[in-house]
Amino acid sequence: MDQYYTVLVFSHVLGFILLGGGLCAVFLSELRAYRAVDLLIFVESARFTALCYDALVLPGALIAGASGLLLILELELGFFEQPWVVGMWGLFVFEFVEGNILTRIQFRRTLRESNKLLEHGRLTEVARAEARTMIGLIVHFLDLPLFAVIVYCGVVRPETWADLAWAIGVAVVVAGVLTAFVPRWARRDLGTHSGGGEGQQSVP
């Protein structure tokens, strides 16, 4: 039984390492895409984002989710008795469903649209807008803050519903700030690089 528990804990930690590392890699890849003035870099970033999601985020989520469920059953924690347990599995399920529906659709859309740009050989602000939707931006910037809340629940283990609600509220505010300012900050100097502010780059 002790070995079984050890394997579950190790798997759970491993899953969260893969999941967190993948989300950070996706965040940095998307940031690189926002700052790109070269079409090839934009396309490369889209491909890297999709690769990180499929190779790190999804496997990590599956491992963390399966081991987490078994740990709840093994330790007889219950699913609704303790706020931190509810926070962990509730936010995880939300993230998993959102990630495999909205986020995956967004990343695939970006990859598809960026590949189309290779045929035209130009990266414009209009093309950037076509590659991403506002909902896609929101769910993308929501991933890391909610992941931080899940980790908070597992490490700190808040004992009251108020603490959990505050943590989720802070995460939502942080996600809103990231959504509003990160793309704008990343593109603040594109006009200088592109000459005249059109934000476009041709591929020979």
Domain boundaries of the chain, sorted by first residue: 2-188
Average pLDDT across the chain, whole number = 86
- CA–centroid distance for 134 within its chain: 15
Distance between CA 74 and CA 81 in Å, rounded? 15
The stretches of 36-82 forming alpha helices (DSSP H) are: 39-52, 58-75
- What is the rounded CA–CA span in Å between residue 13 and residue 71? 12
Task: Write down the pLDDT at residue 195.
Answer: 42
83 contacts: CB under 8 Å, gap ≥ 6: 153, 158, 159, 160, 161, 163, 164
Closest residue by Cα to residue 57 from 143, 117, 182: 143
DSSP 179-194: HHHHHHHHTTTHHHHH
Check residue 1 and give its pLDDT.
Answer: 58
Residue 70: its pLDDT value, please? 95
Question: What is residue 201's predicted lDDT score, i.e. its pLDDT?
Answer: 47
pLDDT at 191: 54
| C-beta of residue 152 within 8 angstroms of C-beta of residue 182 | no
Q: What is the pLDDT of residues 116-141, one digit of tens each?
A: 877 776 777 777 777 777 888 888 89
Side-chain half-sphere CA neighbours of 26 within 13 A: 29
The pLDDT value recorded for residue 159 is: 92
Specify the pLDDT at position 114: 81
